[in-house]
Structure 1
Amino acid sequence: MSKVQPLIEDSFELHRRYPALYYPQDGYVFVVAFGRSGSTLTQHLLNSMPGYFIRGENANALVHLCRSVNAIANEGNFLQRQEPRRSQIVAERPYFGKMVGTSMDPWFGMEEVDVDEYALALFDTFVSQVLRPKGRARVLGFKEIRYHNDPKFFPKFIDTIRKYFPNSRFIFQNREYENVVKSSFWKTMTEDDVRRRWENFEEITSTYAQDKDYCFQLRYEDYLGETEKLRPLYDFLKEPFDPEATAKVLATKLKH
């Protein structure tokens, strides 16, 4: 189970300095989906909820920002120049203390970097320039089908989003393999390759979601048959469920 927690400080200063990131009063919803699992329908359904503003795909642009944050945060040379590690090393190697902060240091300047501020500034720009919220949006987010391209980074990716995007929640969406593989979306791959990707997605999302109340696992099959099957999704989002209104939204035929 991840030990990552959202930033504890949620003050006027954070809202002032990062207005786009803290714009939605009820946080974020990210649809993490496998290709051709019905994520566009989920996007459409979420946008039918009052105050929801859920964008479509963005070529997984957010992963590159999260990688950048993690590259610095997990770099040993950076951590050595942060307290309390810096003072500990100086006690053992006085020359290190004399070097840090001068142009003789090969990592000159990293002692002044604040990873949290760097991350918040990056994500504030992402919201203002990529998500670009409009109107009285109280919940922001987007859907993406490329999260699973790097299974090893997936947990850190979601953890980073969870830490810096206030009140962030995740909908992990998939569909039965037999139906997914029929889509022309996968026609350039062999069935074995599609199966491998599908199984990887199932594994990383189910493993991550275990025992986390901010994750919800959704199947396209939940849209079929009785609309009542979607009630748990509304409960997860803490939104009122109207079966008739939901059925009307789902009756819209999407072509893409």
Structure 2
Amino acid sequence: MNYKHIFIITYGRTGSTLLQGILNTHDEVIIKGENLNFCHGIFKSYLALKETIEKHGNAKIPSHPFFGSHELDLKKFLNDAYTLIKNQLIKNDDLSTWGFKEIRYTPSRISDENGFILLDYLDFMNLLFPNSAFLFLTRKHTDVIDSAFWRRLEKNKALYEINKFEEVAKTWSQDKNNTFWIDYSHLKENNSKLIEMHDFLGLSYQALRIKKVINTEHSYTGKTENLLHLKNWNLKKHNSSNIQFHTIDKIPIKIEKNSSFELGGIILINESIKNNFEITIEHEGEPANIRWSIISPHYKKKYPLNPHSEKCRFSITNLKATETPVKIFIENKNQKELLFELKISL
């Protein structure tokens, strides 16, 4: 293994969770997920401490406004910060390599009064984590900005964010030998670039493990761009006057014959209706496990006036893949309405 730490540096919807999964196929490596870029707060503390030392580092007189600054120690701060981060993220001291992925590196995420500070921030990360590899992950921009993650921004603004990140990141990495650039297409195609990345890291390329990871849905919900690759099922959604919004957003990449699988999604009852419904299903096989009213913070924010939006996520497990369609209903003592019909071609 060539590095003690591995960091996935990217922006939203590039396939960073997939790359995280690929790296975690290796027993000697653990790559944790996002942490809302909490290292950026530590970086800002480092800058404040550094400026204090540089401008007021000789304040030994008790009446001085910066009294005690002569005892501040940047090296000790870095050691303490490293220990803090490691203790939060890593519980196994026997691991040879650890790190995390983060997507919050664009101008709107890490700028201050001096502008976009990615160069300084990456310098800090390189200093804080000795012997680190930085994996820069990209993806076709039009695919990225069409995702729900970026729709909060006007397209030109989103493209600016992505282009600026890539421009500055390439400037930072061009004279360094501990950086590697890879694209989402290389991950999905499982091609020579992925093998090259393993060589760069000093990891053995385990083809079977990696193929299994690539064929597994990643991220916290199913995404349209992933679901389009499926060819062996068809999902039909039926409208209902009782429903404000409903969707299935969690489904396997591929549904194998006679295998058990899980569906998940959102069923949001209209705000004016008392939710005395339950989810029922028709399917072939053993009884499925149905959960509804799972916490759904995204939809609470999206539908703030609907009291049902706080807990509108559902999950159905132990479904059996057969030729018989899976039908999902909402039902109370007065009515039963079909919401989803899943047909699998096996």
Which TM-score band applies after superposition, normalised by the shorter structure?
A: 0.7 to 0.9
Q: Which amino acid aligns with 1:120?
A: N
- Residue among 191, 194, 199 paired with 2:163: 199
Q: Which amino acid aligns with 1:119?
A: L
State the partner residue of 2:46.
69
Q: Secondary structure at the match of 1:106?
A: coil
Q: Which amino acid aligns with 1:137?
A: L
Is 1:122 equivalent to 2:97 in the alignment?
no
- Residue among 74, 95, 108 paired with 1:137: 95
Q: Contact 1:69/1:115 (CA < 8 Å) preserved in 2?
A: yes
State the partner residue of 2:70.
111
Q: Secondary structure at the match of 1:204?
A: helix
- Residue among 117, 121, 128 paired with 1:164: 128
Deviation at 1:169, TM superposition (A): 1.4
State the partner residue of 2:149.
185
Is 1:58 equivalent to 2:22 in the alignment?
no
Residues 226 and 122 of structure 1: CA distance in aligned 2, closer, same or farther (over 3 Å): closer
In 2, Cα distance between the equivalents of 1:108 and 1:102? 6
Residues 150 and 80 of structure 1: CA distance in aligned 2, closer, same or farther (over 3 Å): closer
In 1, Cα distance between the equivalents of 2:189 and 2:3? 31
The answer to which structure, 1 or 2, has the higher relative contact order (CA under 8 A, 6+ apart) is 1
Deviation at 1:124, TM superposition (A): 0.8
Q: Contact 1:227/1:247 (CA < 8 Å) preserved in 2?
A: no
Q: Contact 2:29/2:96 (CA < 8 Å) preserved in 1?
A: yes
In 1, Cα distance between the equivalents of 2:193 and 2:13? 20
Q: Which amino acid aligns with 1:190?
A: E
Deviation at 1:205, TM superposition (A): 1.3
Deviation at 1:102, TM superposition (A): 1.5
Deviation at 1:80, TM superposition (A): 4.9
The C-alpha deviation readout for 1:12-71, integer Å capped at 9, x for no partner, is: xxxxxxxxxxxx995111111110000000111111112111110111101110111122
Q: Contact 1:25/1:139 (CA < 8 Å) preserved in 2?
A: no
Q: Secondary structure at the match of 2:136?
A: strand
In 2, Cα distance between the equivalents of 1:26 and 1:245? 21
State the partner residue of 1:97.
none
Structure 1 spans left out of the alignment, 5+ residues: 1-23, 87-99
Deviation at 1:239, TM superposition (A): 1.0
Deviation at 1:227, TM superposition (A): 3.0
Q: Contact 2:18/2:218 (CA < 8 Å) preserved in 1?
A: yes
Residues 25 and 226 of structure 1: CA distance in aligned 2, closer, same or farther (over 3 Å): closer
Higher Rg of the two aligned structures: 2
Q: Contact 1:51/1:137 (CA < 8 Å) preserved in 2?
A: yes
State the partner residue of 1:222.
186
Is 1:210 equivalent to 2:185 in the alignment?
no
TM score, norm. by length of structure 1: 0.77
State the partner residue of 1:20.
none
Q: Which has the higher helix share?
A: 1
Q: Which has the higher strand share?
A: 2
Q: Which amino acid aligns with 2:100?
A: F
RMSD of equivalent CA atoms: 2.1
Deviation at 1:226, TM superposition (A): 4.5
In 2, Cα distance between the equivalents of 1:244 and 1:229? 17
State the partner residue of 2:270.
none
Q: Contact 1:27/1:168 (CA < 8 Å) preserved in 2?
A: yes
Q: Contact 1:67/1:157 (CA < 8 Å) preserved in 2?
A: no
Q: Which amino acid aligns with 2:40?
A: V
Give the % identical residues.
29
